Amino acid sequence: MRWLVLWVLVLVSSSPLSTSAQEASALQLQLDAAGVDAVASSARTVDGYTLKQMERRVQRARKGLGVSVVPFVAGTLFIMAGTVGYDCFLNSDRSEKCGRLLYTGVGLATVGTGGIIASAIMLRRRKGKLRTLREAASDERRRRAEWDVERSRLVF
């Protein structure tokens, strides 16, 4: 039963907080004093996330990595208490308490290690997607001249 609770906590902490299946159009209408213009929408990932949304997802993955360290550290402390603790170290025969501490520590450390690995993978992928979005956004800003099809001339 303890294992089930621990695995559920790991799965809940590593799952995404929200999902989205909406797709945005490539052009958006913008109203200003001159009239209505069609403006290209901001860069998005394949999943449909904007730059700000990806930054939030990276922050969540960082928090998940930080939270995953907690059971690992707690498990390490339990392992130390079960092997070299005061009662366990002095007694030549291992008591039941020492065994429980040791097994609990191994379980917590294992769950923490799994959470760290999963969170690190998610963080790496999200940071990569964020990097490509930032590069795409900077490429859009670098373009200084475009060809205007309606007027058949170069527009800056």
Q: What is the pLDDT of residues 96-131, one digit of tens each?
A: 888 888 999 999 999 999 999 999 999 999 999 888
Please check the confidence at residue 2 and state whether its pLDDT lies above 90.
no
The two structure tokens encoding residue 40: 């290209």
What's the pLDDT at 38? 55
Where are the extended beta strands (E) located within 59-152? Answer: 146-148
Other C-beta atoms closer than 10 Å to the C-beta of 142 total: 7
User: Where is pLDDT greater, at 88 or 32?
Assistant: 88
pLDDT band of residue 22 (cuts 50, 70, 90) is very low
Q: How far apart are CA 145 and CA 59, in angstroms?
A: 36
Residues 30, 56 contacting (CB under 8 angstroms): no
What's the pLDDT at 83? 83
What's the pLDDT at 1? 64
**Burial class (CB within 10 angstroms; exposed 0-12, middle 13-18, buried 19+) of 60:** middle
Q: How far apart are CA 105 and CA 5, in angstroms?
A: 15
The two structure tokens encoding residue 51: 């730059």
The one-letter amino acid code at 20 reads: S
SS3 string, 56-80, reads: HHHHHHHHHHHHHHHHHHHHHHHHH
Question: Taking all residues of the chain, what is their mean pLDDT, rounded to a whole number?
Answer: 77
Interval 140-154: pLDDT, tens:
555 566 777 887 877
Alpha helices, DSSP H, located in the chain: 2-14, 51-84, 86-90, 96-142
User: Where is pLDDT greater, at 153 or 92?
Assistant: 153
When pLDDT is averaged across residues 71-93 and rounded to a whole number, the result is 82
* Closest residue by Cα to residue 9 from 57, 56, 68: 68
Residues 72, 113 contacting (CB under 8 angstroms): yes
What's the pLDDT at 144? 63
Interval 52-75: pLDDT, tens:
888 999 999 999 999 999 999 999
pLDDT band of residue 50 (cuts 50, 70, 90) is confident
